[in-house]
Amino acid sequence: MSPEKKTVLVTGATGQQGGAVADGLLAHGFRVKAMTRHPEGEKAKALKERGAEIIKGDLDDALSLEQALSGMWGVFAVQNSWEAGVEKEEV
């Protein structure tokens, strides 16, 4: 299957690491679904302009995560241990 047929969910896509991964995937022809808690934010808008699909989601919201994962070929997940703590990151 060619990259343009594959969709990868990127959590933390508006951060440094997730944003860099999303950009790299887009540059290599993958479809990117970028999950963020703040889809109205400037970083999300800029990522959308570069070709990503922006979706609202939260790792603490099982339903939003389940919906985001539907139909994905792959996932790159970034957790924010600075906000959530190491224990929450491990969950």
Amino acid at site 82: W
Report the CATH number that the domain containing residue 41 is assigned in CATH.
3.40.50.720
Per the domain annotation, does 90 fall within a domain?
no
**Is residue 86 over pLDDT 70?**
no
Domains: count for the chain: 1
Predicted pLDDT of residue 27: 96
Q: Which residue in the block uniquely carries the two structure tokens 């508006």?
A: 14
20-74 confidence digits (pLDDT tens): 999 999 999 999 999 998 999 999 999 999 999 999 998 888 898 899 999 999 9
Cβ of 81: how many Cβ atoms within 10 Å?
12
Give this prediction's pTM.
0.84
Domain of 35? 12-79
Per the domain annotation, does 87 fall within a domain?
no
